[in-house]
């Protein structure tokens, strides 16, 4: 399997509010940036969407290292939360419905196509790839705000 490095980030102006997501895919010496936005969303939704869209951009099954500054996204997989949610009929440990269930289900399906490892990075620090994704995600949120003002 080909090895792909995937950096992701989400941003939101207000929570909920206009938001953006971004993904940076790296394979060998190739880089691809993708991003998008939404008029009414949350930061967590944008963080999940960034990973979904990054994985959907892959043309064949790959060995993927996903780097995210979202503890929510990383812990869902690396701490096994998603398995617990599935076993508990998509309920949290506190018996509440899991938020963003449809997105988690879509992301789960994508992780069954690819071999995925989630790695936590510190946000807003010296990681150039995380910073680039943050910049792209914030730019997408800004595009949504500007479009709404017109």
Which residues are annotated as catalytic? 9-10, 47, 69, 124, 134
pLDDT score recorded for residue 26: 98
**pLDDT 10s per residue in the chain (150 long)?**
899 999 999 999 988 999 999 999 999 999 999 999 999 999 999 999 999 999 999 999 999 999 999 999 999 999 999 999 999 999 998 999 999 999 999 999 999 999 999 999 988 788 999 999 999 999 999 998 888 887
Q: What are phi and psi of 51, to 5 degrees?
A: -70, -45
Single pTM value for the model:
0.95
Residue 73 falls in which region: left (phi positive, over 0), alpha (psi -120 to 50) or beta: alpha
Residue 60, CB-side half-sphere exposure with 13 Å CA sphere: 4
**What CA–CA distance (Å, rounded) separates 35 from 28?**
21
């Amino acid at each position: 399997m080909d090895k792909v490095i995937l950096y992701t980030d989400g941003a939101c102006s207000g929570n909920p509010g206009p938001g953006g997501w971004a993904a940076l895919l790296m394979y060998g010496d190739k880089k691809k940036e993708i991003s998008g936005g939404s008029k009414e969303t949350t930061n967590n939704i944008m963080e999940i969407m960034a990973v979904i869209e990054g994985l959907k951009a892959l043309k064949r099954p790959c060995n993927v290292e996903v780097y995210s500054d979202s503890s929510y996204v990383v812990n869902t997989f690396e701490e096994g939360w998603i398995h617990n949610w599935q076993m508990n009929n998509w309920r949290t440990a506190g018996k509440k419905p899991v938020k963003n269930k449809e997105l988690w289900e879509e992301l789960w399906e994508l992780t069954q196509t690819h071999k995925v490892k989630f790695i936590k990075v510190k946000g807003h620090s010296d990681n150039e790839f995380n910073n680039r994704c943050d910049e792209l995600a914030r730019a997408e949120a800004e595009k949504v705000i500007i479009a709404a003002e017109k």
